[in-house]
Amino acid sequence: MYDTIIIGAGPAGYTAGIYAARREMKALIIGKEAGGQLVWAADIENYPGFKQISNIDLIKKMEEHVKGLGVEMKSGEINKIEKGKDGNFTVYASKEKFEAKTIIVAIGLTPRRLAIPGEEEFSGKGTSYCANCDGPFFRDKVVAVVGGGNSAIDAAEIMSKIAKKVYLVHRQEKFRAFAAAIKEVESRDNIEIITNSEVKEIIGSQFVEKIKVLNNKTNKETEMDVNGIFIEVGRIAATDLVKDFADRNEKMEILVDEKCKTKTNGLFAAGDVTQVPFKQITIATGQATIAALAAYQYIQESQGKNVKVVMDRSVHKK
């Protein structure tokens, strides 16, 4: 029996593990991928204490911190959650099951899909949702990047350093990204910007070979030869796992209160998966701190102890 099971191995999940350990809770972190959404980032320049740090280095430091505190970690995907009459939870992951007094959901967001023919078929075979992860496989190749926000602009900029040619396809006239980032992309000779256009189909045999692009103004459809396509059209909250235990908004984000509690006693959520309006690493870690301390408080109170969590002071041993 764990005091808490933390679902998600990103910044929020790691932070929840750290604070659970500091309260001497028996904690388990289960995540599909170490680092969570950090694997989609590149150089991080807005995390306190580091003027600039790569995503890999930050993930490594967080993981080492968590493991150093003795927090158990497992790689896997949660298939089902049940809550018993005793108030405890059972979590099913692959062929294993675990029990816990509390759960902290810190699964972040998942890539939004285009839902077009060929997308699922060629996923991992030329279709990618992470330029930082898969970009090196397309060195000196021709690729397309789809999207109009910061993630798409960043992906195009990254791929311009790797690929021979980059098509940046956006369904609208103007981009939603930061002006400086747009200007940088526009200055790259090997990036061709295609606006007012949508990718309608991904075509190939074993791997991606072409994409069909429809111009929304002229209604003209064009086939373009590419070796890969990076889909960067935002992220969504995949929260059906807890639909019976948590209220959600129209974006399927989990609704939590000021203590990161859901409507179900013992179930907490933190980070980008919640309704918090700004999706930032620092906000995710802050919420995770609250969630872990609130989970501790919940366990103590359920045992009849009147506990008030105040400051978390570090203990310095001589």
- Name the CATH superfamily, with its identifier, for domain 127-231: FAD/NAD(P)-binding domain (3.50.50.60)
Helix/strand number for the chain, H first, E second? 6, 19
Same fold: 2-109+237-302 with 127-231: yes
pLDDT computed for residue 67 by the predictor:
95
Q: Report how far apart, in Å, the C-alpha atoms of 95 and of each of 72, 174, 286, 301 are.
A: 18, 48, 33, 33
pLDDT computed for residue 304 by the predictor:
86
Q: CA 148, CA 145: separation in Å to the nearest integer?
A: 9
* Residues 102-132 pLDDT 10s: 999 999 998 899 999 999 999 989 999 988 8
pLDDT computed for residue 142 by the predictor:
98
Domain boundaries, the chain: 2-109+237-302, 127-231
Q: CA 156, CA 158: separation in Å to the nearest integer?
A: 5
* Residues 248-307 pLDDT 10s: 999 999 999 999 999 999 999 999 999 998 889 999 999 999 999 999 999 999 988 877
pLDDT computed for residue 94 by the predictor:
80
Low-confidence ranges of the chain (pLDDT < 70): 42, 308-318
Q: Which CATH number does the domain 2-109+237-302 belong to among 3.50.30.10, 3.90.1150.10, 1.10.10.10, 3.50.50.60?
A: 3.50.50.60
pLDDT computed for residue 236 by the predictor:
92
pLDDT computed for residue 318 by the predictor:
37
